[in-house]
Amino acid sequence: MALVGLVRVSTDKQNVDRQHDALDPICVKVFEEKVSGKLSVDERPGLSAALDYVREGDMLTVQEVDRLGRDTLTGLMTLAELFQRNIAVKVLEGVGAGEHTESNLLLELAFVLASERRRDIVKKTKDGLAAARARGRIGGRRPVMTEALTIQAVALKEKGFTLRQIQPHLRIAEGKNKGKNPSIGAISQALSSHAAGATS
């Protein structure tokens, strides 16, 4: 049995050192991704690569359970897919810590708490930005996905491209990331915002 690690953060700006410090010494290989934990398995490059690498009897290892999925439904669906492949999960810290070969109430509780924590962070961020706007300050970073990139992404999505297939076709036109591809998380968020605007 081998331990195979997964490191995940949602954006390029977030630090992964703490997760690597926990996983690198004990895992034969550690995969990393910087995408939203709300994406499906096939739209998460690090998780997909880890699943291709692990073999029956191996154990996918994460520092905390929300590295597998940020919201309850996505996390539980990811776990179900792992368990169907006879891949166990090892969680090092927090609620749900331990080794798991099947879904259980402790893991479900861990995902619920992670989802609640995420909602609380989002609410506090929105409240802070609203307070800043009320004082005449505009908070937040300029979005990587411009209107032009979003239109291009929407067109590709309508042709049946997945997020991973869309990503190489998009290039950031300005700023310090000029010439790079936007992250899958940024593309997903832009597509979601576009879809919400189209239906409102």
Q: Which of 10, 115, 183, 188 is catalytic?
A: 10
Q: Which residues of 138-160 are buried (b: 16+ CB within 10 A; e: fewer)?
A: eeeeeebbbeebbebbbebbeee
Active site (annotated) includes residue 103? no
Count of CA atoms in the C-beta half-sphere (13 A) of 33: 24
Strand partners, 88: 59
d(CA 33, CA 47): 7
Q: Which residues are catalytic?
A: 10
